[in-house]
Chains A and B, each alone.
Chain A
Amino acid sequence: MTRSATAKLAGYTGIAALSLFAGLALRLPELVAVGAPFALVVALGLTVERRPQVEVSVEVDRPRVLEREEVDLVVGVQTSRPAELYLPLPPGLELVDGANPSAVRGDEVVTLRLRADKWGAYAPGVVFVRAYDRFRVLRWETRLERRTPLKVYPQAEYLRSIVRPVRTQVFAGNQVAREKGDGIEFADLRPFVSGDLVRRVNWRASARRGELWVNEYHPERNADVVLFLDAFAEARRGTSSTLDQAVRAAAALAARYLREKDRVGVVSFGGTLNWLLPATGVGQLYRIVDAVLDSRIVLSYAWRNLDLVPRRTLPPHALVLAISPLLDERATSALLDLRARGFDLAVIEVSPLEYVGPGRGPTDRLAHRLWALKREAQRTRYERAGVPVSVWSGDASLASALEEVRSFRRYARSAR
């Protein structure tokens, strides 16, 4: 702990010195009597007290919570002298109950109830400790690192329906495949060949044609879905931003597709490149959400392209759902590159227009309109390449944005 003098030490020392010297110079014993107590306080404070011993531990009662849930931060303290504790809280965590700073003595447990207002990966636990001697002429201070991880998951919107991929994979799942095989969804009729199961025979068609015809079905297969997060740039207003919307969308989509037994992976493409290989299961959902929680906008001028992304992260015939504000040229170029490589791509554009106002002057408003027109032209460029682009503003639901994508794909077919 760092020891320092309080203002009281300097003040009392000055008064004692002034009184004693003035008393001697003016031959006034009363002044000596006035200055003596101050000198005694200083002397006792400097000689009697010892460095305090402080031990602090910090833990949370739940390491994972959802947004707007409350969590208890438990601080255990062992101190040889009365002390004061202060824990600076990161933005996104609000103190609901408890004293901060708080006074402790001996062995105590201080509980702070926090509310997680915003998703993210937090590590609270920086503790500032301050103790005084009994006469408060000396101060001891220290900063302790007792970080404990706390992950706040976004409140994901429940999606009733999703974007169906064009191509499926070979494993069983809930997606109706285009191929024909064993399944439930009727696909076609064909003439009976030896080896076909009798229960497949379509007796009505067979009676009409005078020979045996069998039903063919579409099998249920799973699909590979890759969530492509654009982390180059964001538009922000106050505490909300396009990245916040993108993270919530990614969590909702991942949960929904994993429930359909699809393999879901994540690529965070930006100043820093992060990826997660596609996999299934509940564990994959937590891995995906943990990965997107670490998404941050890191300013970078380096040009990045898809060659940096491992090939296994983007399996062939995967449905790529890109969630992007389409602000950075590198991201828009990478998306067109994905389409050119034959990926089944859909773009959910997190609209930055509501975060960036038109401005006051006529020149500002003109610039804003030109910017909006430029973005419209960019969307048209994607649609000409066969990529549906759905504009998602903050007040609309994600389901409405997905419906726009489905409508585009219903009336357009990819050229293969």
Chain B
Amino acid sequence: MLVADVVRKPLGALAVAAVLALAAGLVGHWGPLVQLGLTLGVVSYAVALVERDAFDERAPLVAAAMLATGELAYTSIEPPARRAWPFSLLLVVAAAGVASLLLAAAGIGGGRVRELVLGVAAAAAALAVVARLAATATR
């Protein structure tokens, strides 16, 4: 049996457990279950990385997706009185940028990561300008 076959079954179970825990936490408005779901998500990604045994250029996107999930989940269980989506969106984009910068600074992944960093930085700057304009217009 290949290593990938052995790992794939627990990976699938971890992913399903993460989704179920997150869903249960959102429905029940219970923070510990949301935290468990996110933690299981990180563990699933770690297991996937071990199984992959190669550098994952999509790590900044995974970071952004994890942070977006966390922001959405905690906003659902403790909703703000006013919408804060523009700020949360900026955080998500910034998460991708930070992750990319970290990996690029470590010289990991070669030129593809540097291109990704530039693209994420440009997108983040554009979104920041749009969000600032929108916030100014609504006041």
B81:A8 contact, CB within 8 angstroms = no
Cβ-defined partner of A7 (8 Å) among B42, B66, B74: B74
In Å, the complex CA distance between A103 and B82 comes to 6
Residues of B within 8 A of A10 (CB): 31, 35
In Å, the complex CA distance between A8 and B31 comes to 8
Interface residue? A33 (CB, 8 A): yes
B91:A41 contact, CB within 8 angstroms = yes
Contact A105/B82 with A11-B70, A14-B39 known, Cβ cut-off 8 Å: yes
Residues of B within 8 A of A33 (CB): 59-60, 63, 99-100, 102-103
Residue picked from B34, B35, B39, B50, most chain A C-beta under 10 Å: B35
Residues of B within 8 A of A40 (CB): 98
Write out, one digit per residue, whether chain A residues 137-169 have a CB within 8 A of any chain B CB (1) or not (0).
Answer: 000000000000000000000000000000000
CB distance from B35 to the nearest CB of A (A): 4
List residues of B (31-90) whose CB comes within 8 Å of A's CBs.
31-32, 34-35, 38-39, 42-43, 45-46, 49-50, 55-56, 59-60, 62-64, 66-67, 70, 74-75, 77-78, 80-82, 84, 87
Write out, one digit per residue, whether chain A residues 39-65 have a CB within 8 A of any chain B CB (1) or not (0).
Answer: 011000000000000000000000000
A8:B91 contact, CB within 8 angstroms = no
In Å, the complex CA distance between A387 and B60 comes to 91
A18:B39 contact, CB within 8 angstroms = yes
Interface residue? B1 (CB, 8 A): no
Cβ-defined partner of B62 (8 Å) among A11, A30, A32, A82: A30
Contact A37/B67 with A6-B78, A7-B34, A7-B78 known, Cβ cut-off 8 Å: yes
Interface residue? B19 (CB, 8 A): no
A14:B82 contact, CB within 8 angstroms = no
A32:B42 contact, CB within 8 angstroms = no
Interface residue? A268 (CB, 8 A): no
Q: Name the residue on A nearest B96 (C-beta).
A: A37
A103:B81 contact, CB within 8 angstroms = yes
Interface residue? B14 (CB, 8 A): no
Residue picked from A11, A30, A105, most chain B C-beta under 10 Å: A30
Interface residue? A355 (CB, 8 A): no
Write out, one digit per residue, whether chain A residues 14-37 have a CB within 8 A of any chain B CB (1) or not (0).
Answer: 110011001000101111111111
Contact A15/B38 with A34-B66, A40-B98, A136-B78 known, Cβ cut-off 8 Å: yes
CB distance from B17 to the nearest CB of A (A): 15
| B interface residue count range (under 10 / 10 to 19 / 20 to 34 / 35 or more) | 35 or more
Q: Name the residue on A nearest B63 (C-beta).
A: A34
Interface residue? A84 (CB, 8 A): yes
B82:A32 contact, CB within 8 angstroms = no
B81:A28 contact, CB within 8 angstroms = no
Interface residue? B94 (CB, 8 A): yes
The count of chain A contact residues (Cβ–Cβ below 8 Å) is 36
Interface residue? A38 (CB, 8 A): yes
In Å, the complex CA distance between A29 and B56 comes to 9
Contact A36/B99 with A7-B34, A7-B74, A11-B31 known, Cβ cut-off 8 Å: yes
Cβ-defined partner of B35 (8 Å) among A11, A34, A102: A11
CB distance from A266 to the nearest CB of B (A): 46
CB distance from A5 to the nearest CB of B (A): 11
A37:B99 contact, CB within 8 angstroms = yes
CB distance from B14 to the nearest CB of A (A): 14
Q: Name the residue on A nearest B59 (C-beta).
A: A30
A36:B70 contact, CB within 8 angstroms = no
A26:B60 contact, CB within 8 angstroms = no
CB distance from A376 to the nearest CB of B (A): 57
Interface residue? B108 (CB, 8 A): yes
Q: Name the residue on B nearest A11 (C-beta).
A: B35
A82:B81 contact, CB within 8 angstroms = yes
B35:A101 contact, CB within 8 angstroms = no
Cβ-defined partner of B46 (8 Å) among A6, A28, A105: A28
Interface residue? B126 (CB, 8 A): no
Interface residue? A275 (CB, 8 A): no
A37:B98 contact, CB within 8 angstroms = yes
Contact A28/B39 with A10-B31, A38-B67 known, Cβ cut-off 8 Å: no
Name 13 interchain pairs, CB-CB below 8 A, sorted by A.
A8-B78, A10-B35, A12-B70, A26-B46, A26-B49, A29-B103, A33-B59, A37-B95, A38-B67, A82-B80, A83-B81, A84-B80, A136-B74
Please report B residues at the A interface, Cβ cutoff 8 Å. Answer: 31-32, 34-35, 38-39, 42-43, 45-46, 49-50, 55-56, 59-60, 62-64, 66-67, 70, 74-75, 77-78, 80-82, 84, 87, 91, 94-95, 98-100, 102-103, 106, 108
Please report A residues at the B interface, Cβ cutoff 8 Å. Answer: 6-8, 10-12, 14-15, 18-19, 22, 26, 28-38, 40-41, 82-84, 101-103, 105, 132, 134-136
The 8 closest A-B pairs by CB, nearest first: A7-B31, A103-B81, A37-B95, A30-B59, A33-B99, A11-B35, A8-B74, A84-B81
Task: Give 15 A-B pairs besides A82-B82, A101-B81 with Cβ atoms closer than 8 angstroms.
Answer: A8-B74, A11-B38, A15-B66, A15-B70, A18-B43, A29-B108, A30-B49, A32-B102, A35-B42, A36-B102, A40-B98, A83-B81, A84-B80, A132-B80, A135-B91
